[in-house]
Amino acid sequence: MLVNLRSQWADAIDQELPLPEYPRPQLVREEWVNLNGKWDACVHSPEREPDFSASILVPFPLGSALSGFDHVLQPDEVLTMRTYFEHSLSDGPDRLRLHFGGVDWACEVWINDVGVGSHTGGFDPFYIDITDALIPGLSQKLVISITDPTDTGNQPLGKQTLTPFAIQYTAVAGIWQTVWLEPVPQSCIERVYTETAIAAGTVTVNCDLSNTKPGTQVNIRALDGETIVSQGSELVEGGSGSVLLSFDDLHLWCPSDPFLYSLVIEITDGTGDVLDRVESYFGAREVSCEPDDSGHMRLHLNGSPTFHLGLLDQGWWPDGLLTAPTDEALKFDIEATLEMGFNTIRKHVKVEPARWYWHADRLGVLVWQDMPSTVFNMVEFGKQLKKGVEPEEMEWDSISPGKDPDGFRSELDAMLTALQPFASIVAWVPFNEAWGQHDTNETLTHVMRFDPTRLVDGPSGWTDMGLGHMRDHHLYQGAEQLPQPESGRATVYGEFGGISLYIDGHSMFEKGWGYTKTESVEDFLTSYEELLTVIGSLIPEGLAGAIYTQTTDVESEINGLLTYDRKYKLQPEKVRLIHQKIL
């Protein structure tokens, strides 16, 4: 029997303007317009014109309860959506950008019946300059058409499938993050990210810029509260500018003290006139993988070994699927993780909205960020497993082949670019369990070169090829036996645990799925404590990190520490006490 669950935040949604918060906290401009709300919508065949006979609540994806449009988009269907907006852009030099936080998967966009752009990729933000398609008067028409092959295609899609089962979830399509308008000057700041050098007491602020001219200068001020603590300027070269800031007493970021500096960034022309101004922030920190006195490789934060005790976080919602109902809901999973005494989240084959990473930065949690995986054939995997074939020996070309390496690389680079500013992210996870794994070491090397300031896990579980800062094992059985370490790589459990407990009234199905079954809260607590005691005993032997499966139940998967509708199965203080005993 299917039970329709709602989270506690669903009733707090403003139907006129859901998710009203500013969507890009790492790069803030004062002027913007939120386009979330009710849009006209319809699902149709490619051969037919849309009739817009239904409505959908943006930014909740098609098929989610919160969207108000109950339909799973099929590969041969088109979702077309329409809204009208007003703008006050003058006839001056500024341009108007239309931003989409996330659209799954391929889309085309029209303004006033003029095609203005298209995009493929379900997890990266993008914008379209719509200035030239605007018409006189305030009212403008926006239409977007979306297609999504889900698991009939080769694109990164994470846990989505058209046939949900066990660890694979309901297919998602359409807009699933905030849509917004932003006027920008011709010469503007596109992206800001930082690099910390603790020994030197410096932070380099890197700025990507558009349409700059000779003589353009980047001017940066770093603030602690209202006090300017460092500032600097540099001329722009080749569309970018990097400013080295020196600090008398650099305040470092860490989970126990997630201090963030504020940034004010301006670009000026040769006469000193301000062309663009944004506000940003950064956390000063360094991560590395270093040997301890016994020769065991450890994960270091700011020069000190830090055991990463974390949760596998799927980021799915019973009412919004990929989309949290409110900003309070979005940050709740992080807050719950910290309340239970974890210091790490492995964001599993999903990319969250920028505000999630901002919450992670300011609340203080370490993040391992997965790249969303490509299609995974659960049925074929089950057949080989029943034959007794170990995952490392399976015929992966028939399970998860990774048929579009160029498309994967494009979406991987988009993720790295979008998330590079966030201090909480300390490790990239390009592949999970051979799901679409291809060109493994070439891909890991590419990520290491793209971002040498973070660790690269390679890959997480099963088919390791000898590269990456971490040798990552998935051990749902036999976790008590620490695998043989590899020279120069930290030994981690990228997944373990998966203890299931069914909670009546808080599970979608009467019979759920998990790696290990318990029948009561008491049994669950005992099993969890015994398992974590084992983990604690392995730390002196060289275990550098461990990620427990998982934060919440998801659909038929009931191995969360919380239910799918975000109710604690165990009292968080009891879980925290267990962690305090072993760490």
Q: Specify if 17 maps to a domain.
A: no
- DSSP H helical segments within 97-224, as ranges? none
Task: Tell me, yes or no, whether 386 and 527 share the same domain.
Answer: yes
- pLDDT computed for residue 582 by the predictor: 80
Task: Tell me, yes or no, whether 543 and 460 share the same domain.
Answer: yes
In this structure, the dihedral spanned by the alpha carbons of residues 48, 52, 53 and 58, taken in order and rounded to 10 degrees, is 130
Task: Tell me, yes or no, whether 349 and 459 share the same domain.
Answer: yes
> Going residue by residue through the chain (583 aa), what tens digit of pLDDT does each one get?
477 899 999 999 999 999 999 999 999 999 999 999 999 999 999 999 999 999 999 999 999 999 999 999 999 999 999 999 998 666 667 999 999 999 999 999 999 999 999 999 999 999 999 999 999 888 999 999 999 999 999 999 999 999 998 889 999 999 999 999 999 999 999 999 999 999 999 999 999 999 999 999 999 999 999 999 999 999 998 899 999 999 999 999 999 999 999 999 999 999 999 999 999 999 999 999 999 999 999 999 999 999 999 999 999 999 999 999 999 999 999 999 999 999 999 999 999 999 999 999 999 999 999 999 999 888 888 888 889 888 878 887 888 877 899 999 999 999 999 999 999 999 999 999 989 999 999 999 999 999 999 999 989 998 899 999 999 999 999 999 999 999 999 999 999 999 999 999 999 988 888 999 999 999 999 999 999 999 999 999 999 999 999 999 999 999 999 999 999 999 999 999 999 988 7
- pLDDT computed for residue 394 by the predictor: 84
Task: Tell me, yes or no, whether 327 and 380 share the same domain.
Answer: yes
Q: Report whether the peptide linkage leading into residue 105 is cis, meaning its omega lies within 30 degrees of zero.
A: yes
Task: Tell me, yes or no, whether 336 and 424 share the same domain.
Answer: yes
Q: Specify if 115 maps to a domain.
A: yes
In the chain, count H helices and then E strands.
Answer: 7, 34
Distant-in-sequence, close-in-space partners of 30: CB < 8 Å, separation ≥ 6? none
CATH of the domain at 392: 3.20.20.80
On whether the CB atoms of residues 336 and 566 are closer than 8 A, the answer is yes
Task: Tell me, yes or no, whether 255 and 365 share the same domain.
Answer: no
Q: Specify if 161 maps to a domain.
A: yes
CATH of the domain at 173: 2.60.120.260
Q: Specify if 160 maps to a domain.
A: yes
> CA 54: distance to chain centroid?
30
Domain that holds residue 374: 303-582
**Residue that finishes a domain, picked among 248, 282, 316:** 282
**Residue that finishes a domain, picked among 282, 311, 334:** 282
Give the Cα separation of 381 and 400 in Å (integer): 9
Task: Tell me, yes or no, whether 312 and 269 share the same domain.
Answer: no
* Neighbouring-strand partners of residue 309: 546
| Matching residue, tokens 């699927």 | 321
Distant-in-sequence, close-in-space partners of 163: CB < 8 Å, separation ≥ 6? none
Token pair listed for 351: 């990319």
On whether the CB atoms of residues 327 and 19 are closer than 8 A, the answer is yes
Max intra-chain CA distance, the chain: 74
Reduce the DSSP state of residue 23 to 3 states and report it: coil
Q: Specify if 21 maps to a domain.
A: no
Give the Cα separation of 491 and 18 in Å (integer): 43
Give, for 241, the enclosing helix (H) or strand (E): strand 240-246
- pLDDT computed for residue 89 by the predictor: 64
Task: Tell me, yes or no, whether 400 and 517 share the same domain.
Answer: yes
Task: Tell me, yes or no, whether 60 and 206 share the same domain.
Answer: no
Reduce the DSSP state of residue 410 to 3 states and report it: helix
**Residue that finishes a domain, picked among 235, 250, 282:** 282
CATH of the domain at 207: 2.60.40.10
Number of separate domains in the chain: 3
**Cα four-point dihedral sign 554, 555, 557, 563:** positive
Q: Specify if 18 maps to a domain.
A: no
Strands of 247-303 (E only): list them. 261-268, 274-282, 287-291, 297-301
Q: Specify if 291 maps to a domain.
A: no
On whether the CB atoms of residues 78 and 145 are closer than 8 A, the answer is yes
**Cα four-point dihedral sign 185, 191, 196, 197:** negative
The pair phi, psi for residue 525, each rounded to 5°, is -60, -45
Task: Tell me, yes or no, whether 276 and 327 share the same domain.
Answer: no
- Mark residue 382 as left, alpha or beta (left: phi above 0; alpha: psi -120 to 50; beta: remaining): alpha
The length of the chain is 583
Give the Cα separation of 339 and 514 in Å (integer): 24
On whether the CB atoms of residues 275 and 267 are closer than 8 A, the answer is yes
Task: Tell me, yes or no, whether 397 and 522 share the same domain.
Answer: yes
Task: Tell me, yes or no, whether 205 and 326 share the same domain.
Answer: no
* pTM of the entire predicted model: 0.97
Q: Specify if 289 maps to a domain.
A: no
